[in-house]
Amino acid sequence: MSVTRRAQVRVRVPAKVNVQLAVGAARPDGFHDLANVFLAVGLYDEVTVTDADALTITCAGRDADQVPLDRTNLAARAAELLAARHGIDPRVHIHIAKDIPVAGGMAGGSADGAGALLACDALWGLGSPRSELLDICAELGSDVPFSLVGGAALGTGRGERLTELEVGGEFHWVFAVADGGLSTPAVYREFDRLTASASGSTSAPVAEPVASPALLEALRTGDATALAATLANDLQPAALSLRPGLSATLAAGTAAGALAALVSGSGPTTAFLTKSPETAAEVAEALLASGTCRTARVAPSPAAGATVVGATAAGA
Ligand code: C5P
């Protein structure tokens, strides 16, 4: 019996932590201007695309049951957008091997969008220029361009306009994964509510978001202690307001020897910067023992952006 082999491409995509997330005023389009310093970390989803008769999607791995398998999945939308640009049918099966926490503030959904885009581009032999892929990523979501690029970058605008940053060494992280996710729009709405109630007005000016020179220098020199002193997330009060239990997680990681702790992006994952892989393992163990999180993961940074890690030609 002969079996027809389908062409297939596999892409690996990293998670991210925001080492600085400075949030400005809400814009007329509903988004907020940001100075968003992204750092890619070594927790990965793998997206495999295979020639198929129709666009289908499956997911396996950690929390796979929380991943939508319809056209709202950014991976499916990426395939559709790329196909539409080239006037082709997105007849592809997308499989996501999920390891990035779902709805956790680590850009797991964005990673899958960037991964599917790169994989489909290779599968269909399109060879799209990087600038075109980045345009499609920005259309998919504010964090998606960074998932493609990886490393470290400053995102301005709504976070989609990237300037790559130099990183002079490895940083060691622990991520405490909370029970359940947090909705990013809900966290931004809470940010707006807290900002308005602090100023006593909904129309008070909000400071323009700017990247911290000290933080960029700490990244450039690979200095974990200096980076720890400059970590900042303007969304953290909003995430803590919606999930007050996260304060106990932050305190447990700090007590266990982390250099610094913060909410990752819009949360509810919390991130702990440590001085070595050994300390990271100790902090992870202490976080688990504290009972303040569901699981704890260690990961180094920076990590490469979306990368093709395997390809099979049809009939091969
Ligand atoms: O771009 P993305 O689809 O990931 O954004 C999800 C939601 O997060 C937006 O609809 C908006 O509510 C909020 N957001 C924002 N400002 C940004 C990025 C996201 O208000 N810069």
pLDDT category, 112, cuts 50, 70, 90?
very high
DSSP 150: B
Residue 3: pLDDT above 90?
Answer: no
- Tell me which of 77-86, 128-137, 201-210, 256-265 is least confident: 201-210
Enumerate the H helices of the chain as residue ranges.
Answer: 74-85, 108-123, 130-140, 144-149, 184-199, 213-221, 224-230, 236-242, 246-255, 277-290
Beta carbons of 94 and 49 less than 8 angstroms apart: yes
275 is known as an active-site residue = no
Beta carbons of 82 and 116 less than 8 angstroms apart: no
Q: What is the pTM of this model?
A: 0.95
Residue 4: pLDDT above 70?
Answer: no
Q: Which residue has the higher pLDDT, 95 or 201?
A: 95
pLDDT at residue 206, rounded to an integer: 76
- Dist. CA 97 → ligand 1 center (Å): 25
98 is known as an active-site residue = no
Residue with CA closest to ligand 1 atom 13: 185
pLDDT category, 232, cuts 50, 70, 90?
very high
Indicate the top mutation candidate among 142, 144, 208 to test ligand 1's pocket, ranked by most ligand atoms within 8 A of CB.
Answer: 142
Indicate the top mutation candidate among 31, 77, 143, 183 to test ligand 1's pocket, ranked by most ligand atoms within 8 A of CB.
Answer: 31
Cα 215 to Cα 282: distance, rounded to the nearest angstrom: 26
Distance of CA 268 to the CA centre of its chain: 13
Residue with CA closest to ligand 1 atom 7: 185
Cα 186 to Cα 189: distance, rounded to the nearest angstrom: 5
Q: Which residue has the higher pLDDT, 198 or 217?
A: 217
Q: Which residue has the higher pLDDT, 228 or 180?
A: 228
pLDDT at residue 180, rounded to an integer: 87
Tell me, using a 6 A CB cutoff, whether residue 147 lines ligand 1. Answer: no
- Dist. CA 238 → ligand 1 center (Å): 14
- Dist. CA 141 → ligand 1 center (Å): 7
Residue with CA closest to ligand 1 atom 9: 185
Bridge-based pairing state of the strands 295-301 and 171-177: antiparallel
- Dist. CA 167 → ligand 1 center (Å): 27
At 24-79, the pLDDT tens digits run: 989 999 999 999 999 999 999 999 999 999 999 999 998 899 999 999 999 999 99
Indicate the top mutation candidate among 77, 184, 208 to test ligand 1's pocket, ranked by most ligand atoms within 8 A of CB.
Answer: 184
Beta carbons of 217 and 226 less than 8 angstroms apart: yes
Cα 308 to Cα 310: distance, rounded to the nearest angstrom: 6
User: What mean pLDDT do residues 130-142 have?
Assistant: 98
* Adjacent-strand bridge partners of 174: 272, 298
Cα 261 to Cα 45: distance, rounded to the nearest angstrom: 24
pLDDT category, 201, cuts 50, 70, 90?
low
Residue 1: pLDDT above 70?
Answer: no
Tell me, using a 6 A CB cutoff, whether residue 34 lines ligand 1. Answer: yes
Token couple for 316: 């091969």
At 263-282, the pLDDT tens digits run: 999 999 999 999 999 999 99
DSSP 265: T
- Which of 33, 112, 143, 234 is catalytic? The answer is 143
Tell me, using a 6 A CB cutoff, whether residue 209 lines ligand 1. Answer: no
At 74-111, the pLDDT tens digits run: 999 999 999 999 999 999 999 999 999 998 999 999 99
